[in-house]
Structures are given as structure tokens and as C-alpha cells.
Amino acid sequence: MSANLSTGLVRLSVALAVMLPAGTSFALAKTPATPVSAIVAQASPTPKATSNPFAFGGFVRAYDFTRQNASNSAQGGSRGSTNQQSFNLGVSLHGEYDFANSPFSAGASYLYANPLGACSQASDHAKGLPCVSNRPPSTNPDDTLPGFALSTLYEAYLQYKAAGFYGKVGNQIINTPWANASDGRIKPAAFQGADFSYALNRHFTIEAADYIGWEDRTSSVFDQSTLLTSYPAGSPGIPANTLAPGGRTISTSGFFYGRLGYTGARNLTANAYYYGMQNIANLLWFDARYPFSGGRLNPFVALQFGSENSTGSAVIGRINSTVFGLQGGVNVTPNVLVTLGYDGIPVKSDTIRLPTGYTCKGNIIAGAATMTTGSLPYLLPFGGTGNCTANGDGTTNIYYGGWASPYTDSYISDPLFTTSTTQGMVDRRSPGTGFKMQVTFTSSDKHFVGYVSRAWYNYGNPAFAQLTAETDFDALYRLGKIEQGTYHGFLLHYRYGERTQTRAGLPLFKYNRFQVEYDF
């Protein structure tokens, strides 16, 4: 038996052992991995049913992104930030074959994308560096799209479905709270491994999975990296205070995962999750949603709770985080839903002597990790959030406690109720509090869905106050006929986000995205 297969079986056994005892204290089924208030990004269409055992589907997507980071033309602002713009055009083809008189099927998805410009190679964007001049009126590419070509077989799997049992092995798309497709750009992120679930009865489901590789949404290859242990294009990458000699990836062996789900009376749904992210963190996550019956407002309440701690060699430093969230909503009319959400992540602190090469400058840790100075072993807030205060005796107070999310960091695809279009506490790696109000309109024929939201964040700690706010607008219109199941036809999707921030010197941030897509 191969080492990888042996490791995988051990991981699955551990995940099940951790999850099964949770059934005695949690009535927990699968609620959406994305926040209830969010408009879920379009996933790869399910293959179109035919009279043959082979089914097919796919999409064509065209995106245009702009990000305004500076107040004057393409280059400007007090920090010299350059504005960004990218276009990309992609096509994805998906096929699936059902073996006759068998519960087995096999499938694959291939994607090719090209920005149709001179800057089309990933090598031109090493560690996210621009491939154009910073001089006005030039703009940098927005490599979250990305701004270069992609060519990948991101799905290739064998699947089994029968008698309440489900299994899938190979390259695949998954959607769990803290590891998901993040399908809001030109291609989804994909995972390499095995997933198994079984419906114990009509109320309870158990699931276990082991993933040894992944392909981020700006990559064409699977590897043993994460968004916190490498430098993917369009992402912040490895924390600045973490030792990464030569800017290389810190390799980890993926993660294993378990879930116990519950679906009960009156549509109560809940889940208990366990993630073992190798040499990064162990994570427990609970969510539940309860819709109140009766009345025209159709109110609901949802909650979430998580606990996370660093594990193994802790390659990105100490992680010690908890989060609690609460959300409620009502339909003020049959077409208008109003939701209010809250999330809180308490700040943690330690008093230490900083390693050689590091200083607490302006209440933010300064100094780059090198092979001679080593790492400052903490997951620290960034993006302008304070993380230290200096003491008179030469020691330093370190402020941390943010949530580490190796597979959603910077993707704005985490499940917190208060995450917005361009920011959230997870993507700032910061403790704090967040409030979000959203009004969503859905037309009676389901062709149009749009929302307006306003969110407030307090990333402050004893280092200094850091308040930000964000206003978002999102509109999606489907041109074709809406039928039960996967949509086929044209859709238009536009997003706008704008931040305001209290601390002087930080650039403004405005975000526009326009997407045209045809699903078939």
C-alpha cells in the first residue's frame, strides 16, 4: 500500500472518530458553505441530461475588472498605489459518463482562459509583480482574475452513488465552509483527493474526506500549497513575518475533513465540522439555521461558532482564534429580504522579546524574515491593522487572534455572516467585530437578483483603533428561461464595492466587476 494511501486512510479514520462523538451533543445537516445573505457565484453547470450515458455541459465567461487604489489617474495617492484593470475570457467543458447498470460514473472538466493581450504568461507575473509600467496612464493587472492565460484539467474523477452512500476520488470541486470552489472569477479552485458520505437516516449524514493537493483559482497545476504558504498571483501570500527562504512555497500535505450533518423538523439544519490542516491548524466549526414557521415575514435566525489552533510544526506561526456569529432576516415583501449579521473574533496578546531584525514601528511589526533572523512565529493582522506596542523594558506586546483560512484567504469566500465583496476579518487575518446589513431583491420570475449592503468593521486593538466600512452593490440577471435545476443560457453579473477607512495614509478602494456568461 502506498504511503499516500496509508496516510489518507489514517486521516479518514481520525476524522470519523472525531466527528461521531459530536452526535451526542449536537443536532447538526448541510447548510450552505457561503453566508445566507450572499448571492452564490455561478458554479460549473451540471452536465445536461441526454438519452446516452454521456452527458456534457460547460460555460463561456468574459470578465472585466477594475480596482481604484489611488485618487489621481492611474498612479497616485499618498502611498503611490497603482490602479488595476484586467480582462479575461475563458471556456470550460465538462463531461460525465455513467457506466451501464452501475452506480459508478466518471467525469472531467477542462478550462482554457486567455486575456487576449501581450501579458499572457504566468511567468510575467512572478509573485504578483506587474507586467506593465507603473507610470501613468498604465495600470497594473488585477491578477485575482487572473491577468494571464490558464489551461487546466481541473476535474478528473471517479464517482459512486447508491443506497445513501456517495464517494468521489480524484481532481474535484468541493464546497465546504473553509475549503471551497471560490468560484467568483474565471475558474474555480479545485482539490485533489477523496470524499465519502453516508446518510445514516433521514436526519443524519456523516462525511469524511482527505485532500492531498489543490489548484488555486489563478493556477493551472495541482500542488501541496495553500494561500498562506505560497505566493499565488493576486493574493498576499505567506505572512511577511514568516520565514520563506528565496520566496519558495512552504509545502504541507493538505487536510482531512469530517462532518456530521442534521436536518430536522421545521427545516432546522445544522452541521459540525472538523478540519485538520497539516502543520497549520486544527479547526472546529458549527453552523445552524432555523426558519420560523407562520406569518408573512418568513423570519429566520442563523448562528455560527468556530475554534482554531495551530498544530504540528505551525509553519505560519501561532494561531489561537475563536469566532461567534449571529444572523437574522425577514421578508418585508415576498420579493425583498432584509438581513442583519454580526461576527466577533476576540483579540489575543503575548509579551515577548522580538527576534533580531524585527521592530515595533508605528505599532506595526516591521522587518523582513530572512534565513539569519528567522520567523516571528505568529499569524498577525495586516492591511494597516496594528499588531504591537513597545514596552520600556525592551519587550513587545504582540496582538493576534485572527482566523487562519489557508484555502479562502483573500478570496472573500469564507462563511462569516459579515464578509463583504472586498474585505472581512478573515482576509485581514485580524480579530475584531463586524456588522452587516443587506437588502436583497429577487424578481418574481427569478430572472433578476440584486442586493445592496453596508458593513462596519472594527479591527482595533490596544495598538490603535482601525475602523473601516464598506458599501456593496450586486446585480445578476439571467436572460434565459428559469427551470428547475442548473441554469442554461446567458447571464449578466455586475458588482461594485467601495471602502472607507479612518486612518490617514491608507489608499481608497473602489472595485468594479462586470461578467458576461453563457452556460450550456
pLDDT band at 73, cuts 50/70/90? very low
User: Using a CB cutoff of 8 Å and minimum separation of 24, what contacts does 440-445 make?
Assistant: 440/37, 440/39, 440/336, 440/337, 440/338, 440/339, 441/335, 441/336, 442/335, 442/337, 443/335, 444/334, 444/335, 445/482
Average pLDDT over residues 151-179: 97
Q: How far, in Å, CA of 211 to CA of 140, rounded?
A: 34
What letter represents residue 357's amino acid? G
- Its domain, for residue 14, covers 3-519
CATH number at residue 65: 2.40.160.10
Q: Decide if pLDDT at 227 tops 70.
A: yes
Question: Which range is least confidently modeled, 22-36, 82-96, 186-200?
Answer: 22-36
Task: Give pLDDT, residue 20.
Answer: 39
Q: Could you tell me if 360 and 399 are in contact, meaning their C-beta atoms sit under 8 angstroms apart?
A: no
Q: Decide if pLDDT at 146 tops 70.
A: yes
Average pLDDT over residues 392-417: 97
Number of compact structural domains in the chain: 1
Looking at residue 47, the DSSP 8-state letter turns out to be: P
Higher per-residue confidence, 372 vs 498: 498
pLDDT band at 118, cuts 50/70/90? low
In 3D, which of 95, 89, 90, 98 has the Cα closest to residue 57?
95
Higher per-residue confidence, 154 vs 34: 154
Q: Decide if pLDDT at 154 tops 50.
A: yes
Q: What percent of the chain has pLDDT over 70?
A: 82
Question: 230-250 pLDDT, tens per residue?
Answer: 999 889 999 988 887 667 899
Question: Which range is least confidently modeled, 204-213, 222-231, 290-299?
Answer: 290-299
pLDDT band at 265, cuts 50/70/90? confident
* Joined grid coordinates for residue 411: 478570496
Task: Give pLDDT, residue 74.
Answer: 40
Task: Give pLDDT, residue 484.
Answer: 78
What letter represents residue 359's amino acid? T
Q: How far, in Å, CA of 84 to CA of 71, rounded?
A: 13
Q: How far, in Å, CA of 175 to CA of 34, rounded?
A: 9
Question: Which range is least confidently modeled, 61-75, 164-178, 248-262, 414-428?
Answer: 61-75
Chain-wide mean pLDDT for the chain? 85
In three-state form (DSSP H/G/I as H, E/B as E, the rest C), the secondary structure along 173-186 is: CCEECCEECCCCCC
Task: List for the chain the helix, strand, coil content (%; round to 5).
Answer: 5, 45, 45
